[in-house]
Amino acid sequence: MTSFGYFLACEEFTPAQLLQQARRAADAGFTRLAISDHFHPWTGIQGNSPFVWSMIGALSQTVDLPVTTLVTCPTVRLHPAVTAQAAATSSVLLEGRFTLGVGTGEALNEHVLGDRWPAFEERADMLAEAVEVMRKLFTGGQISHRGRHYTVDNARLYTAPEAPLPVLVSGFGPKSAALAGRIGDGFVTMSPDGEAIGNFREAGGAGKPVVGGLKVCWDRDREAAVESAHRIWATEHLPGELNQILPTPAHFEQASELVTPRQVAESVPCGSNADEHVDAIRAYVEAGFDEVYVGQIGQHQEDFFTAYREKVLPALLA
């Protein structure tokens, strides 16, 4: 049975707002939380970007819900050994309710140390090696590793997960879906794409969970909702690999000028028609998703949580 969680967008909200949303999500009937991991927001209008590992520590003391990163890049900005330590501590703080979602990353976040931004094939190879390194460290044993991309010298996590820590792998095309099937404990993808899920299953993902979600904008005024979704999250609708290769929020602001309000209105549930929200989420259920995370765009958080508690989640769970 599909479970429904709330997505905490670190790019859009302050740490205090994110913690408040987590509490409201639990009260509204969401059973899980997902959280983004960014160094930069996509655009200046979003305006935030707290450190995800600090946020997860705070969440562990705020709510009892499971938490998943959607997603962390453990290959450039942070070495996989450091990412493994952060994930292991998160798992311990959450008493085993933590899942590490990983991906090949975006230049937006990973270029900040001045490192070269590789092509996808190299980033995929780096991710596979990073996952291998992290899984070795999660055992709590002392390891050394000398691979093509990473070196680990006599490292041990003394605060190790008490049980195997699931690692989900993000993907959007056939190559990344196949990579997720080969190396992941599950697949993260953000659209109800049956073909991508099929590629994941065929590459070794049979029986493994599929996780994803969508953003919505609940507002009594549909036109205002469309305006907010377009102003704050037009970047969600950029085509191809732009999200992976553009390096700064300013570049995303320029590219977002190509996205029209009509495009947003046609693809994002906007307004207060509960059926529209239910239908959009149900598409993920019908595509075979095991976990669906919903993020509310803008400031009408209380109205969103009330509506989802009273109308949307009951309809999905009926």
Chain segment 211-233, per-residue pLDDT in tens: 999 999 999 999 999 999 999 99
- What confidence score (pLDDT) does residue 45 get? 98
In the annotation, is 38 catalytic? yes
In the annotation, is 111 catalytic? no
Statement: the pTM of the whole predicted model exceeds 0.95: yes
**What dihedral do alpha carbons 134, 139, 140, 143 form, nearest 10°?**
-60
> What is the helix, strand, coil percentage profile of the chain, to 5?
45, 15, 35
Identify the CA nearest to 167 among candidates 192, 122, 137, 199.
Answer: 137
> Quick one: tokens of 101?
């979602």
HSE (side-chain half, CA atoms, 13 Å) at 174 = 2
Query: Are 90 and 67 in contact, with CB atoms under 8 Å apart?
Result: yes
* Given the residues 12, 106, 110, 291, the one annotated as active site: 106
> Quick one: tokens of 47?
């305006």
DSSP secondary structure string for all residues of 57-106: HHHHTT--S-EEES-B--SSSS-HHHHHHHHHHHHHHTTT-EEEEE----
Mean pLDDT for 148-163 is: 97
Q: Residue 253 pLDDT more than 90?
A: yes
Query: Are 181 and 163 in contact, with CB atoms under 8 Å apart?
Result: no
- What confidence score (pLDDT) does residue 154 get? 98
Q: What confidence tens digit (pLDDT) does each residue in 58-103 have?
A: 999 999 999 999 999 999 999 999 999 999 999 999 999 999 999 9
Task: Give the chain's radius of gyration (CA, Å).
Answer: 19
Note if the bond before 268 is cis, omega within 30 degrees. Answer: no
Q: What confidence tens digit (pLDDT) does each residue in 181-215 have?
A: 999 999 999 999 999 999 999 999 999 999 999 99
CA distance 53 to 47: 19
Look over the chain and give the mean of its residue pLDDT values, rounded to a whole number: 97
Q: Residue 160 pLDDT more than 90?
A: yes
* Given the residues 38, 111, 149, 277, the one annotated as active site: 38
- What confidence score (pLDDT) does residue 172 get? 86
Q: What confidence tens digit (pLDDT) does each residue in 272-288 have?
A: 999 999 999 999 999 99
Cα 238 from chain centroid (whole Å)? 17
Q: Residue 173 pLDDT more than 90?
A: no
CA distance 21 to 312: 17
